[in-house]
Structures are given as structure tokens and as C-alpha cells.
Amino acid sequence: MAEVHFLGTGNAFSPPGRMHALALIDSKILIDCPPTVIPQLIRGNCLPSEIKHLLITHWHADHTFGLPFLMLNRKWMPAEDSDGLGLEIHLEENGIEILSNLCKTGYPGSLEDSLKNDIIWKIDKRSRLTDTEWEMERFSVFHTPETEPHGYMLTHSSGFRLLHCGDSGPCEEINSRAGDSDVLIVEMGVPDYVDSPYHHNPSDVEKLSKKFPETKVLVTHNFSNNENFRHGFVSPTLSSNIHQLADGDRLIIKGKNDYIMKK
Ligand SMILES: [Zn+2]
Ligand SMILES: [Zn+2]
């Protein structure tokens, strides 16, 4: 049994009712580290010190700027039964300097020891995630190139496969893996009227779901769904087999091709 908890499902603009997109797997693996990561973890009854793995998709601020807060929390509120394993951050090599500088900028003079002792930088594109039931593969996707965008294929010991497309437009790297995955998480970056090859828009999401009917499509990085308080893009209506995630949704995984969504 495994669980993916969607503690945030919003885009960079913080639409009403949504925090920045992230996914928390088995209370140990975090995909992305947005600025609101701490209130999101606390709301999900997860302590910052419990996170063992952080998988970074790309350098955009809504996916990374929470790292100084995460490290500060871990430093001053460490786990009581801390095994000293530290936080394994999985990323492209360039990111070591980028994220180190981010921590030093956020809390100058305070996180140097955490950078040395609490972070284990992992640049392997494939690895078994220690202390978990998961293996991961990181692959390139199609987004603003300066952000070094990547997605992740996560394979559970039960055989269940979860494809996280990262922040990306349609691309072959996603297509070549979508058919092999049970569930696919796609970030919907822009509405149809915004012309951007670097993002999936609602029509792209529909096409992806039609092309891979056996794969359940979950949509995150969503727009506003509050009709009373308009801010940013308005959520589209998508086909009923596509699930537009809301903050707090959970994917409960029982095995290969065996899962349910829970509010
Ligand atoms: Zn984003
Ligand atoms: Zn992005």
C-alpha cells in the first residue's frame, strides 16, 4: 500500500483555494519544494523532518523556493528519532549550486551546516529511493530550457507506475512513458488561448488522455475554481475520466492497476 497526497495543486499564481503544486508520497518523498511547502506539510500532518527524499523537477520559484524554509525547519525542529540519514535531494548537477545559493540567500550564515550535514545531493538519473518502496527515473521534458526541466517515472515494489510529467509541454519523452504508467500527473500550465509550447493546456491534456486511455490522468498546477473570487485563469471543464486535482486529494495505491482516489 502506498499513498500520494496532493497537498497543493495550484499554479505559480496561487489561485484561490489552492497552494502551489507538490506531491507527497508515503509521507517521505516530496516532489518539488514550493515557497508554501511548510504550511502545506503541516496541514497534511507531516513534519518537515520526516522528508527523506526531495525530487526536483525544475528551477522555477514555485517549485524550489521553499527549500530554505524546509532546511531551517529541519535544523531547529529535527526528528526526535533522527537516524542522521539526511535529506536526499535528487536533481541535475547544476542544481547543487543553484539550491545551495538559494539557502544561503534565504538564511545567510544559518544553513551552511545544514547544506553540509543534512543534505545528500543525488545526481543519478535512476535510483532506488532508500528507505522506501520506490524506484525513480528522471528524464528531460519540454519547458523553459533555462530551468532544466525534468519529469519522473516512479515504480513501486508492487509494480504500480506513477509518471510525473513535471512542468512541460507535450513531448516525446512523456509519450514514450505514458502507456507504461498506471497513473500520470500532468501540470496544466496555461489555458487554451495562451500559445506556449512549454506547457500543457486543457486541449493538450484531453489529447494526452485520449491517446493513452488505459492511463489515469491527474491534472495539477491548476487554475482558480472559485467563482466568487476571481484571480487568474479560470479552471476549464475537462472530460469526466480526467481528474482535476484539488488540495488534499489522495491517491491510494493498492497494487499494479489497483488504486482509488480519495478526497
Ligand atoms: Zn510552476
Ligand atoms: Zn515551470
169 CA → ligand 2 middle, Å: 10
Q: How far apart are CA 161 and CA 163, in angstroms?
A: 7
Sign of the dihedral through C-alpha 67, 51, 150, 11: negative
- Would you place residue 233 in the very low, low, confident or very high pLDDT band (cuts 50, 70, 90)? confident
Residues sharing a CB contact under 8 Å with residue 169, sequence separation 6 or more, in sequence order: 142, 143, 189, 196, 197, 198, 199, 200, 204
Using CB atoms within 10 A of its CB, is residue 238 exposed (0-12), middle (13-18) or buried (19+)? middle
189 CA → ligand 1 middle, Å: 7
82 CA → ligand 1 middle, Å: 32
In the predicted structure, residue 227 carries a pLDDT above the cut 80:
no
In the predicted structure, residue 232 carries a pLDDT above the cut 80:
no
What pLDDT is attached to residue 235? Answer: 83
Q: How far apart are CA 69 and CA 75, in angstroms?
A: 10
In the predicted structure, residue 228 carries a pLDDT above the cut 90:
no
User: How is domain 2-262 classified at the CATH fold level?
Assistant: Metallo-beta-lactamase; Chain A (3.60.15)
Nearest ligand by distance to the CA of 145: 2
What pLDDT is attached to residue 84? Answer: 58
Q: Rounded mean pLDDT of the chain?
A: 95
134 CA → ligand 2 middle, Å: 25
Nearest ligand by distance to the CA of 59: 2
In what helix (H) or strand (E) does residue 204 lie, and over which residues does it extend? helix 202-211
Phi, psi of 235 (to 5 degrees): -60, 135
- Residue 71, CA atoms < 13 Å, CB-side half-sphere: 29
Q: Give the pLDDT confidence of 75-122 residue by residue, as tens digits.
A: 999 887 766 579 999 999 999 999 999 999 999 999 999 999 999 999
- Tell me what the mean pLDDT of segment 246-260 comes to: 96
- Tell me what the mean pLDDT of segment 60-65 comes to: 98
83 CA → ligand 1 middle, Å: 33
Q: What is the pTM of this model?
A: 0.96
Q: How far apart are CA 218 and CA 214, in angstroms?
A: 13
- Tell me what the mean pLDDT of segment 64-85 comes to: 87
- Tell me what the mean pLDDT of segment 124-147 comes to: 97
36 CA → ligand 1 middle, Å: 13
CA distances for 195 relative to 47, 169, 191, 205, angstroms: 40, 11, 9, 15
